[in-house]
Amino acid sequence: MSAEKLEAVYLVDRQFFLHLKETESGFQYEAFHRSDKKENYSGMLTWEDLLESRIASPLAAARVAACEEIGLEGQEVAKVSLLSLLPYPQSEIRRRSLQEPASLPSHDIRFIDSRYKELFRIPDGGTIQVDYPDRHFAAKCSYIDDYHTQVGNNVYHICQFAEILERGGGTCRPEPELDRDTAAWQLGSQNYLTVERSLSGWAYHLYDQGFQPVAAGEVGGLETSILEARDQAMEQCRLSSRNRELTDYDREEFHRREFMSQDKIEKWDEVNGNTGNNGRLEAFLDSAGDNYAILQLRDIEETRMERFSSLRMLERMDMEVNIDHYEVVYIAPLPIHTNRPAFLESVFEKFNLDRPEDFKGHSLSVSDIVAIRENGAVSCYYCDSTCFQELPGLIPENYLKNAEMQLEDDYGMIDGVVNNGAKDRKEKAAKDKAEKPSVVEQLKNQPHCEVRKKSTIKYAEQER
């Protein structure tokens, strides 16, 4: 169990407040009807009572069990602020506010109507569900002060937000919980996020609007709810301020769309006369001026485990960065700059928030490489989980010559034109691998990089 005791207040079916608090022996609960403010139910759920539950999250299992024991339908359950029970004289929250105020949050976010009638409260960082006649979405909220809150990307006076909703015929409420093992959301207008239960927590996959994969990873633990896992995944992907709309999720359909999108990209390359990976990389290396290139892993079976993997994860899998697994998806002139880390972060920001129209890859993410050719020298930087790591020697200086040698029958025909038959490459590849220094060993000798600051990206979208 977690060292910090679990505790939450839920609004059940918009009529009852249910307070759950973890103890050494299980969960104690108390329930209050929203209108009369009197304690209607209280009880105790032992760990033995929850053993037969199929719900992995202890708090969610206790919530379901308490509703069943009380006799509540529990068709709509939403987490609200602990301070929602302050006006209820018999509640433990009211007692603690007088005797143990430090055990309660110092503030929360309240929502009102245009006449200042309080509707509900949510914790700082909680999420509301906004319903208009023609659209529905959820938005994360952050506490500014007692009269102002940030909803998504925008900051509102709480009365101003109420008036905006009422003018548009909209309403808001705490976002209802989801008792599911899989779900998907559309994030703003540019991304889709899927979350699925895994053996140790939750696995997520982020897609762009064309259903191309952008990022993937694991978040949370067995005690984490699917909504908490979604929010953690959005935080990792720097998309916390995006509005999120629950959408139908069919894994096979998502994968079908992903492969359909890949087919479209291949057709785009065919129409625009793009050369293969070797041709693009050689064009970059042989360019006359200073340039930079974005390299992303090719969508082949050999790269499945490498995609979106940090260098630490590659090391755990006994794998290394392999330049032959990458393809060049973008080449551009190198801007003048004096600070390389700052330039790399600007590239990360650009290819996430303001992608050029001719860029056909996915948003820059972990496992991508930024290659820089300056004054004839090439350096490669791996987009790691917190910063960019330089990979010395990833592209050898004699890469062009080696590429030609692999296709020539004899070294006497090395003339700058790849035009002869194939040699036995297996022996040469084994020799190259034996002589090539380990990327992990090289990284151990590098100074520790600065952690990429979450504040470096400020989203321009003002979506609701």
* pLDDT classification of 438: cutoffs 50, 70, 90: low
Cα 48 to Cα 51, 65, 69: the distances in Å are 5, 12, 15
Closest CA to 366 of 341, 384, 381: 384
Least confident of 89-103, 160-174, 201-215, 417-431: 417-431
Estimate to the nearest angstrom the gap between the alpha carbon of 394 and the chain centroid. Answer: 28
pLDDT of residue 255: 59
Whole-angstrom distance, CA of residue 387 vs CA of residue 239: 18
Q: Which helix (H) or strand (E) element contains residue 26? A: strand 26-33
Least confident of 148-162, 179-193, 395-409: 395-409
Whole-angstrom distance, CA of residue 440 vs CA of residue 449: 15
Mean pLDDT taken over the chain? 81
Contact 446, 390 (CB under 8 A): yes
Please write the tens of the pLDDT for every residue from 175-196: 999 988 899 999 987 789 999 9
Please write the tens of the pLDDT for every residue from 194-252: 999 887 889 998 988 777 788 888 998 878 889 999 999 999 998 988 899 998 876 66
Mean pLDDT (whole number) for 97-116: 93
* pLDDT classification of 4: cutoffs 50, 70, 90: confident
pTM: 0.55
Contact 102, 116 (CB under 8 A): no
Contact 370, 294 (CB under 8 A): yes
Mean pLDDT (whole number) for 108-122: 94
Q: Which helix (H) or strand (E) element contains residue 29? A: strand 26-33
pLDDT of residue 65: 93
Whole-angstrom distance, CA of residue 463 vs CA of residue 458: 14
pLDDT of residue 144: 95
Strand partners, 195: 183, 204
Mean pLDDT (whole number) for 80-88: 94
Mean pLDDT (whole number) for 350-375: 87
Whole-angstrom distance, CA of residue 157 vs CA of residue 87: 23
pLDDT of residue 28: 95
- For residue 7, pLDDT over 80 is answered with yes
- For residue 335, pLDDT over 70 is answered with yes
pLDDT of residue 121: 95
pLDDT of residue 396: 76
Please write the tens of the pLDDT for every residue from 42-60: 999 999 988 888 787 888 9
Please write the tens of the pLDDT for every residue from 71-80: 998 899 999 9
Whole-angstrom distance, CA of residue 301 vs CA of residue 444: 29
Which backbone phi and psi does 248 adopt, to 5 degrees?
-60, 140
